[in-house]
Structure 1
């Protein structure tokens, strides 16, 4: 398991390095969105086959679906909440510096 994680991270880092250094031709970069979309569709199809073939997953589908729904709702709600809190903190900080600069000009 650890070896796979290292492999995945290495592949991501190599891809990021290649993209950063502009080693890929512009024509290929323009086609990457299509390649990514097709790859994701194939991945989802294969995952569907794998899930459909597992009888335990099918028998506990509603329990797993309920748990996944609750988990996703809380993940989304907390993510949005934290972004709003951080955004207010950052914008309040910037607003204060703008107001202080205006006071200094008068």
Structure 2
């Protein structure tokens, strides 16, 4: 049920952004609101982690796994961006040369 609520909220936000319903005042401050919301979520997550004794016991294992996942994510993101940007640049050069 929670997933459905999240999906509805996400779709509603996407619709509002797509239709440009919000005025310029709100649009300019969305980044600030996102930062504060993110900081609040991180704060709550920190409290939850601090309360859970199992997380503290397995912190070394969790940390190692997190580092491995982060490194693979970074490496493959860079490789993917290089591959895609190379393809896009080649396509742009072909279009430019055709004209």
TM norm structure 1? 0.82
Gaps of at least 5 residues in structure 1 are none
1:41 to 39, 42, 54: 39
Deviation, structure 1 residue 4: 2.0
**Superposition CA RMSD, Å:** 1.6
**Aligned twin of 1:82:** 80
In the TM superposition, structure 1's runs of 4+ consecutive aligned residues that sit over 6 Å from their partners are none
Distance 1:10 1:4 in 2: 10
Deviation, structure 1 residue 66: 0.7
Distance 1:21 1:93 in 2: 31
**Aligned twin of 2:48:** 50
**Which of these two proteins has the greater Rg computed from alpha carbons?**
1
Deviation, structure 1 residue 23: 2.1
Deviation, structure 1 residue 88: 1.3
Deviation, structure 1 residue 13: 1.1
Deviation, structure 1 residue 85: 1.2
TM norm structure 2? 0.87
Q: How many residues align?
A: 99
User: Could you tell which deviates more after superposition, 45-54 or 88-97?
Assistant: 88-97
Matched, 1:73 2:71: yes
Distance 2:53 2:22 in 1: 44
Deviation, structure 1 residue 97: 4.0
